[in-house]
Chains A and B, each alone.
Chain A
């Protein structure tokens, strides 16, 4: 007998389980499938920054709508807290100080408590930081980071309690379609017929979409991270830093560790065979960037390093929503290394879109796939230097894929 569901969610990362949870909460009969363990892709090795600072209003609104879920996790989910509040700064070079002020204004406009710091103010707040090349910093006192595994686990439990069927180790071998309509999925264990399918398979999404002739403008890319043990003089946790001057980020982790993101430009990797070890040189680069911003990290020790991956879209922003010309298929993918902090709102918005035909918590129209065909990539009016992590040295500059 063929199994049926209202909605099948393909992919058990943080966005997949959040969507399944929001659907189940509305009484939608939901099945979530993942080829491996939950959070086995980008989510499990995410640094899970929780911050609102973006240069575009759409992402900022999703992040702001998600924030209370992280901050009030115990009250809402009845599980141990997942959020650690550390404070957050986004630092930029002097040339972008003006843009930063505009973005802070935009963020305050949508309700985010954030201020601009001068280099001197940043130094007063984080005496360990080297601010000589910093023009300004955007400060969010309430931001921090989340525990990715516990977040996914919380969503999974809640979704299960609400009646969703969550099935890890069940690979979707293909999307089933008939006359430009997606009708379900094929798995190793058989067909599941569904009224709608949500493709939330991260780095694996493009391959599944190609199976029904849909070419998604996204590519899988590696993400490199190291964990360092801070020296005794930096024992107290520092804030979460996005360092736009140097193009990386770092944040504290339990146990006196600091996680450091290292720009990585390894595109078109195969997520099934990619090793989880760092390439040579990555650790050195991470050390160079970190010790420049926090000189006392010279006395830190590299404790471990790992390579993750995610699907990156052509404008390095998520693809959310329906696909023109294909019924029954919803996309929630290509989060481009930045999908964790917006997952709670993405879940709510996708459930609203599927059940009511329109997302009302946050307007997610801008994230629709059609933006690429229309030449309307997501880009705020006041950008910073392109993050080196977003560059592909062998192709056109990122962020302007359709304008030249």
Chain B
């Protein structure tokens, strides 16, 4: 088995930051990403490696001689720090002294009636379509969700020539006044958001607050969407509905960290109520409960590009220290400077969290016929039936209905499933368990694995 000092998984801002800092201190780094270019999913977003500042970060990483493997997925982590890698042709395992996980985040899947119709797309998916592939998701689009990302999507849609019928923000307007004083420390963010809001409003697009998507309409594809008023916790209120004729619905109720790899690595996770999901437990050096395994960026706590990169730096310093490349004194000086920068950036994150904090009402949108598990096509009705029959734990419902057994290993249905079972059994979400991802967290070609096994055998026999 090959070995390397540090494997960084994910070449978005967080992974690049960690690779850069560790390599600068002389650590031998292997940087792995599924994509075909550095930059991760943030590519093409302001401040990310797609724009000049981000491209510079990627160039710096290349210049330092970091070994880069693109088009390569990490499908498992074994024995604490053995990383299993695979491309379309080959598989390989690498033993590492330190692992930095920077897997990023994904759009929170929200099951509501019609969410599986073609034309219903996530905010992240819409941004990728427009910015990476130059494709508009539709001509008449409703944007529903929560957070500043909605404004980004709406602005991109307008620039691309689409008609945006409305932007529906779930957070009530009055929350803004509550968090406003604390936003003064982050005027740059305020100004940027305000400018977007003004542009959208000036284009004649209604920006409705305190509204959630209620259902998407259509048979073969989406033809309409209904939104409803909602309360502070995003519970839809009966009676007050509005209907829009559309050919696309963009849904963006925040991002969830991709925790499959930190789960598979055996890291401890905790429930984060403001997120409505699990996050890895970390030290102030970004180290997880598994020694030598660090988790940074949106994959640990969604905070955006700048905070992700700053976390990467903190982890990079910690890795260098762990491997003996940093004297104690230099380490504490560098670490405290990096943490200071992060502290400032986390301020924005906390304020945005208070403004757009997750509301559990979102998971009350689905009805009995709504498909909950898209891989195995299990409806909410089937799931609730299992609960009525006595299933009280995520694993029991999984065994009975096959929910979460498919290819995505519960990435799509897991968060909603736990909330729905908890609601039906009147328990706390943390009491009903969680779907546990297992290796392979990504599909791996069997041919590649078989070749790897025969190589391992010939090595043993030598």
- The chain A residues found within 8 Å of chain B, CB to CB, are 37-40, 44, 149, 153, 168-169, 228-229, 255, 275-281, 283-288, 290-291, 297-306
Contacts and interface: CB of A to CB of B under 8 A. Distances in A.
B440 A304 contact: yes
A278 B446 contact: no
Given A39-B399, A169-B392, A283 B440 contact: yes
Nearest to B1: A280
B264 A298 contact: no
Contacts of B91: 284
B393 A37 contact: yes
Contacts, number: 102
Q: Which of A38, A279, A283, A297 has the most CB of B within 10 A?
A: A283
Nearest to A260: B446
B194 interface: no
Interface in B436-457: 436, 438-440, 443-450, 452-454, 456
B455 to A, nearest CB: 9
Contacts of A37: 391, 393, 395-396, 399
B444 A302 contact: yes
A291 B450 contact: yes
A280 B450 contact: no
Interface string B185-197: 0000000000000
Given A37-B391, A276-B436, A277-B264, A283 B449 contact: yes
B204 interface: no
Contact of A280 (B79, B376, B409): B79
A287 B438 contact: no
Given A278-B438, A285-B453, A297 B390 contact: no
Given A280-B82, A280-B84, A284-B456, A297 B446 contact: yes
B217 to A, nearest CB: 29
A287 B264 contact: no
A40 B446 contact: no
A153 B390 CA distance: 11
Contacts of B448: 287
A109 to B, nearest CB: 38
Contacts of A291: 446-447, 450
Contacts of B271: none
A280 B440 CA distance: 11
Nearest to B75: A302
Interface in B277-311: none
Nearest to B405: A304
Nearest to B79: A280
A280 B444 CA distance: 14
Given A284-B456, A303-B443, 18 more contacts: A37-B395, A149-B399, A276-B438, A280-B78, A281-B453, A283-B440, A288-B453, A291-B446, A291-B447, A291-B450, A299-B445, A299-B447, A301-B445, A303-B440, A304-B409, A304-B440, A305-B439, A305-B440
Given A149-B400, A280-B82, A303 B407 contact: yes
Contacts of B443: 229, 301-303
Interface in B400-456: 400, 402, 406-407, 409, 436, 438-440, 443-450, 452-454, 456
B137 interface: no
Most chain A CB within 10 A, of B446, B447, B453, B456, is at B446
Interface residues of B, number: 39
A157 to B, nearest CB: 8
Nearest to A44: B399
A278 B439 contact: yes
B438 A305 contact: yes
Contacts of A38: 396, 399
- Most chain A Cβ neighbours within 10 Å, of B91, B438, B456: B438
16 contacts: A37-B396, A149-B399, A168-B396, A278-B76, A280-B78, A280-B79, A280-B82, A286-B449, A287-B446, A287-B448, A288-B449, A290-B450, A297-B446, A299-B445, A301-B444, A302-B444
B93 interface: yes
Interface in B254-294: 264, 266
B446 A302 contact: yes
B449 A279 contact: no
Contacts of A300: 445-446
A284 B445 contact: no
A248 to B, nearest CB: 13
Nearest to B390: A168
Contacts of B76: 277-278, 280, 283
A283 B399 contact: no
Given A40-B395, A149-B399, A298 B93 contact: no
Contacts of B402: 149
Contacts of A168: 390, 396
A21 B395 CA distance: 24
Nearest to A301: B443
Q: Which 4 A-B pairs have the closest CB atoms?
A: A287-B449, A284-B453, A280-B78, A298-B447
Contact of A302 (B78, B392, B449): B449
Interface string B225-264: 0000000000000000000000000000000000000001
A284 B409 contact: no
A38 B445 CA distance: 34
Contacts of B454: 288
A282 B440 CA distance: 11
B12 to A, nearest CB: 25
A282 B174 CA distance: 55
Contact of B450 (A255, A288, A305): A288
Interface string B51-89: 000000000000000000000000110110010100000
Contacts of B406: 255
Contact of A299 (B392, B440, B446, B456): B446
Given A37-B399, A280-B93, A287 B450 contact: yes
A149 to B, nearest CB: 5
Q: Find the residue from A37, A153, A279, A285 having the highest chain B CB count within 10 A.
A: A37
A281 B443 CA distance: 16
Nearest to B88: A301
B439 A277 contact: yes
Given A284-B453, A287-B453, A279 B78 contact: yes
A302 B407 CA distance: 10
A44 B436 CA distance: 15
A301 B402 CA distance: 20
A285 B446 CA distance: 10
Contacts of B453: 281, 284-285, 287-288
Interface centre among B93, B266, B376, B396 (most CB of A within 10 A): B396
Chain B CB within 10 Å, residue with most, of A38, A168, A304:
A304
